[in-house]
């Protein structure tokens, strides 16, 4: 089982992947690609304005490990990158200088046959000094206000990432503001239903419980004080947040206040999607690419 994010880079080196970057004319993305290439985990196909991409690569002294495919506009670059994945020429897709929604709206077109029928989620892995193992959190950046089915999908999606880390039956804590079911708080009702769905085998090989307040999910002592008896309490591998506001606040608090190491992926389609942010550290960007290389299989 993987216990730290630096191991992802080591694993990714065993079988590097080709990454297709849509709208690659972005210094942050190209810088991330350079680091990944130098670490030996990926080579790249850059789709976008050849002149701009060449200029950025030159400024970064990035001379090899990539191919540039000149595109007339953003739409052409998105389509080209996705087709590269569909054909097997590339194994991974990466977001460049475009909105996430623009990339996903194309990715999910029936023509490309990349849908699985599940909602797509941002899954982030945190390595925290005060937690005894890696913690997966979803969704901090995509689904605004997930309904019950979307939360069920997020459990399945996050569990697939957990298994790539060697966690065969991940423990999933469904979060709310309190740890008891309250009819006036829909998040608590969803948590109780998801727990029952998991118990009946509807969500695959996972152990789900909730509702949990965050402290009960990650602190055995806090759970004990509340009288909570659960194999998930204080030992969660995955936490499911109630909405994007809660997820986004958690993500940024961990990244900027706790100094956590992290890596992210967009899952739920037939291939994972690499997403890096301007606010991410260089280490986070590299670890995110490595995570997706590992998820792409063959390592």
DSSP string covering 143-180: -SS--HHHHHHHHHHHHHHHHHTT-SS-EEEEE-SSSS
Across the chain, mean pLDDT equals 95
Q: Say if 263 falls within a structural domain.
A: no
Q: What are the pLDDT digits (tens) for 214-266?
A: 999 999 999 999 999 999 999 999 999 999 999 999 999 998 899 899 999 99
What pLDDT score was predicted for residue 282? 84
What pLDDT score was predicted for residue 279? 74
What pLDDT score was predicted for residue 202? 97
Q: Would you say residue 20 has pLDDT above 50?
A: yes
How many CB atoms lie under 10 A from the CB of residue 231?
10
CA atoms within 13 A on the CB side of 20: 25
CATH of the domain at 218: 3.40.718.10
Enter the tokens of residue 198: 């998991």
Select the more confidently predicted residue: 228 or 297: 228
Q: Say if 206 falls within a structural domain.
A: yes
Cβ atoms of residues 162 and 171 within 8 Å = no
Provide CB contacts within 8 A for 259, sequence distance 6+: 129
pTM score = 0.94
Cβ atoms of residues 33 and 42 within 8 Å = yes
Domain range holding 220? 121-258
Nearest partner of 125 among 270, 260, 234, 281, judged by Cα: 260
76 and 56 part of one domain: yes
Cβ atoms of residues 176 and 192 within 8 Å = no
Please report where in the chains the tokens 């196909």 appear, as a residue. Answer: 45
CATH of the domain at 74: 3.40.50.10950
Number of domains in the chain: 2
Spacing of C-alpha 52 from chain mean position: 28
142 and 104 part of one domain: no
Cβ atoms of residues 285 and 35 within 8 Å = yes
Nearest partner of 172 among 221, 202, 217, 142, judged by Cα: 217
171 and 225 part of one domain: yes
Q: Would you say residue 92 has pLDDT above 70?
A: yes
Spacing of C-alpha 288 from chain mean position: 8
17 and 33 part of one domain: yes
Q: Would you say residue 203 has pLDDT above 60?
A: yes
pLDDT (mean) for 170-198? 97
Q: What share of the chain is helix, strand, coil (3-state, %, to 5)?
A: 40, 20, 40
∠ at Cα 257 (226, 34), nearest 5°?
Answer: 125
Q: Would you say residue 134 has pLDDT above 50?
A: yes
What pLDDT score was predicted for residue 299? 37
């Amino acid at each position: 089982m993987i216990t730290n994010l630096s191991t992802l880079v080591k694993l990714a080196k065993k079988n590097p992947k080709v990454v297709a970057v849509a709208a690659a004319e972005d210094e942050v993305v190209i810088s991330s690609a350079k680091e990944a290439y130098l670490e030996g985990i990926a080579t790249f196909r850059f789709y976008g304005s050849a002149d701009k991409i060449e200029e950025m690569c030159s400024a970064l002294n990035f001379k090899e490990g990539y191919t540039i495919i000149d595109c007339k506009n953003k739409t052409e670059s998105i389509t080209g990158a996705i087709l590269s994945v569909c054909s097997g020429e590339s194994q991974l897709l990466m977001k460049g200088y475009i909105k996430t929604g623009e990339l996903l709206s194309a990715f999910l077109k029936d023509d490309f046959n990349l849908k699985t029928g599940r909602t797509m989620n941002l899954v982030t892995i945190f390595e925290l000094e005060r937690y005894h193992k890696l913690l997966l959190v979803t969704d901090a950046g995509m689904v605004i206000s997930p309904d019950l089915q979307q939360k069920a999908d997020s459990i399945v999606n996050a569990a697939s990432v957990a298994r790539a880390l060697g966690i065969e039956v991940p423990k999933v804590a469904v979060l709310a503001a309190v740890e008891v079911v309250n009819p006036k708080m829909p998040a608590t009702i969803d948590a109780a239903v998801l727990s029952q769905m998991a118990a009946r085998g509807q969500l695959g090989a996972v152990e789900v419980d909730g509702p949990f307040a965050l402290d009960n999910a990650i602190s055995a002592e806090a759970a004990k004080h509340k009288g909570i008896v659960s194999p998930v309490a204080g030992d969660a591998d995955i936490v499911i947040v109630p909405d994007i506001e809660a997820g986004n606040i958690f993500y940024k608090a961990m990244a900027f206040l706790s100094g956590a190491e992290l890596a992210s992926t967009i899952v739920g389609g037939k291939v994972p999607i690499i997403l890096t942010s301007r606010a991410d550290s260089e280490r986070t960007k590299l670890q995110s690419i490595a995570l997706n290389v590992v998820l792409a299989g063959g390592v």
